[in-house]
Amino acid sequence: MSFKVYLNGKLVDKKDAKISVFDHGLLYGDGVFEGIRAYSGRVFKLREHLTRLYDSARAIRLTIPMKPEELEKIVINTLRANDLKDAYIRLIVTRGIGDLGLDPDKCKSPGIIVITDKIKLYPETYYKKGLGVVTVSTRRNIPDAINPSIKSLNYLNNILAKIEAKLCKAPEAILLSKDGYVTECTGDNIFIIKGRSLITPPSYIGILNGITRKAVMKIAEKNMGLSIKEEVFTQFHMYTANECFLTGTAAEIIPVVKIDDRIIADGKPGKFTAKLISEFKKLTQSEGVKIMGTCT
């Protein structure tokens, strides 16, 4: 069966899902997107993702030509068309077709794309044994240039960092702020645990306010009694942490056991990280908008 892609009002075969070379999403990275997951017939945190999508669009003065409720139905219908109960969803809104100039007002109609498929970001061994990451020289975009809180189609900053990581034969990179504080990775938020404190960089420093990030913070505080701190920290604090892990929609929760060739604690995924992974999996099986039947 050929996967169907929603493209500007129609469900089309994957091979026929094509956009204009004059679309400003392609020409200039002018647009926004969300990566979303479905588990066991439920779309996890769909409405939170839609809220962030509309916030990102508003920040770049891009008007999405439908209400969130309509876009929610399109996502659900695309999953149904592909008979997917466990899936990765890529929801994209481009500025639309314009000319070769930068002027966004030349783009009369935004493009809307929904792709539903499978994704596996890391091998299973990384979730069991943890992964090693590196700090790279590429600095995170400063918020008053391209604010990382906007989930835009312009991911060159992340890609440059990913290239550096690959050159170091590492699967992921940590980006620092212009002042040398830890921000996030190329596609994931970062957490450290020290004692009974769960620490993550604050959103104002220049990070994407991750949906999984927020879910993990809530689980850690409510179910595990950890103290949640959103505060700046440096590489030193990572190297001397008791535990470290990354979170993201595609990655979920993945332990980090080595940073810049420094072994974190005993070099094994920590007990709090393991508990968070377990609790998060439970949450994904019980919460979300149903693909078939009544929405929850």
Cβ atoms of 79 and 210 closer than 8 Å? no
Q: Which listed residue (4, 45, 151, 162) is catalytic? A: 151
Find where tokens 């920590």 sit. 270
DSSP of 23-70 = BHHHHH--EEEEEEEEETTEEETHHHHHHHHHHHHHHTT---SS-HHH
User: Do 162 and 170 form a contact (C-beta atoms < 8 A)?
Assistant: no
Rounded to whole angstroms, the Cα distance separating 87 from 165 reads: 27
| 151 included as an active-site residue | yes
User: Please, are residues 110 and 169 in contact by the beta-carbon 8 Å criterion?
Assistant: no
**d(Cα 102, Cα 179) in Å, to the nearest integer?**
31
Q: Report, as residue numbers or ranges, the catalytic residues.
A: 151
